[in-house]
Amino acid sequence: MFIQNALKVKNNIWRYALGILIIFIFTQIGTIPFVVAIFQKVGLDGAAKINPSSMMTVLENSNLTFFYLLLSFFIGFNGFLIVIKFLHNQSLKSVTTSRKSTDFKRIFTSFLTISAIILLNLLFSIYLNPDEYVFQFNLDDFLILFIIAIIFIPIQTSLEEYVFRGYIMQGLGVFVKNRWFPLILTSLSFGLLHLSNPEIDKIGNIIIIHYIVTGLFLGIITLMDEGLELALGFHAGNNLLIALLVTADWTVFQTSSIFKYIGEPDVMYQTFFSLAIIYPVLLLYFSKKYQWTNWKEKLFGKIS
């Protein structure tokens, strides 16, 4: 069982508290090059006036900014590897899955599924509202973006999944001896983590509902499938396709993507589309494909 993997390693609660702190410190160290670059560009006084919504445009080079943004996750991921190895004596595999080995086919299935959904949704949206999209494709810039994205986005999304749906979910499960509390708390924490995103200034705190629901969905498929593979594929596919296909002036990923969205965000539609259509359909698809059973026990059962 996935959460029970933590019963086989050093699982004192202080180790998890210290581990989260170490991962956070490593991630913050990874932001130093970005901060230094901003200071060199605008100076100390200029940097003090920057708000989150404009930070992504200070360097005036979206690919360079994108690289700096993702670099912090690369450093943070190394911190995570150090934590599980030296603080918990735990293998990466045991934080990934309850199976004998990581099921990469599951990762690719989830990746391709959400990628297809995002692509079809974007094409449909462009068809209905062509005036809200600008075609900004530049081959040279896009190739650089593609290289950065294909290398670093899976690291960024994997760090978030390993920390929330792997490390913290396992640690909480061992501590509270149930599944529902880790599921709820990691979903709420995942949503609140995005409070610093630039789109909050544009849309408002209501967008956090979308992130919480997404965290809940990822937590459910992790518990039901007894592993992180589906969540890893979904998160990577979602972020990669968005970074490559479409950007906007108010999003955290402001990239040299193929399209730029210039319309007004419809957060209610986005949240409803995910909550009422996409996530239930994907849950049904995955449950049929992987023959999930015993939902009550896997989502609300006790850890023994």
Q: Where are the domains of the chain?
A: 3-300
Burial class (CB in 10 A: 0-12, 13-18, 19+), 189: middle
Contact predicate 31/70, CB 8 Å: no
Q: Which has the higher per-residue pLDDT, 47 or 220?
A: 220
Judged against a pLDDT cut of 90, whether residue 226 lies above it is answered with yes
Band the pLDDT of 254: cuts 50, 70, 90. Answer: confident
Can you give the pLDDT at residue 35? 86
Instruction: Give me the pLDDT at residue 39, please.
Output: 83
Residue 14: count of CB within 10 angstroms of its CB: 8
The gap from C-alpha 264 to its chain's centroid, in whole angstroms, comes to 24
Average pLDDT over residues 164-181: 95
- The pLDDT of residue 207 is 81
Q: What is the mean pLDDT of residues 140-146?
A: 96
pLDDT of 181 strictly over 90:
yes
Sign of the CA dihedral with 109 first, then 115, 119, and 125 last: positive
Mean pLDDT of 17-32: 96
Nearest alpha-carbon partner for 67 in 135, 134, 199, 155: 155
Q: What is the pLDDT of residue 53?
A: 60
- What is the layout of strands, in order, in the sheet containing 259-261? 133-135, 259-261, 246-247
Instruction: Provide the pLDDT for residue 266.
Output: 74
pLDDT at 68: 93
Q: Quote the pLDDT of residue 50.
A: 67
Per-residue pLDDT tens digits for 73-110:
999 999 999 999 999 999 999 999 999 999 999 999 99
Per cent of the chain over pLDDT 90 is: 74
Q: Which pLDDT does position 71 carry in this prediction?
A: 96
According to the model, what pLDDT value does residue 54 have?
A: 66
For residue 209, name the pLDDT band (cuts at 50, 70, 90): confident
Q: What is the pLDDT of residues 114-136, one digit of tens each?
A: 999 999 999 999 999 999 999 99
pLDDT at position 224 over 70: yes
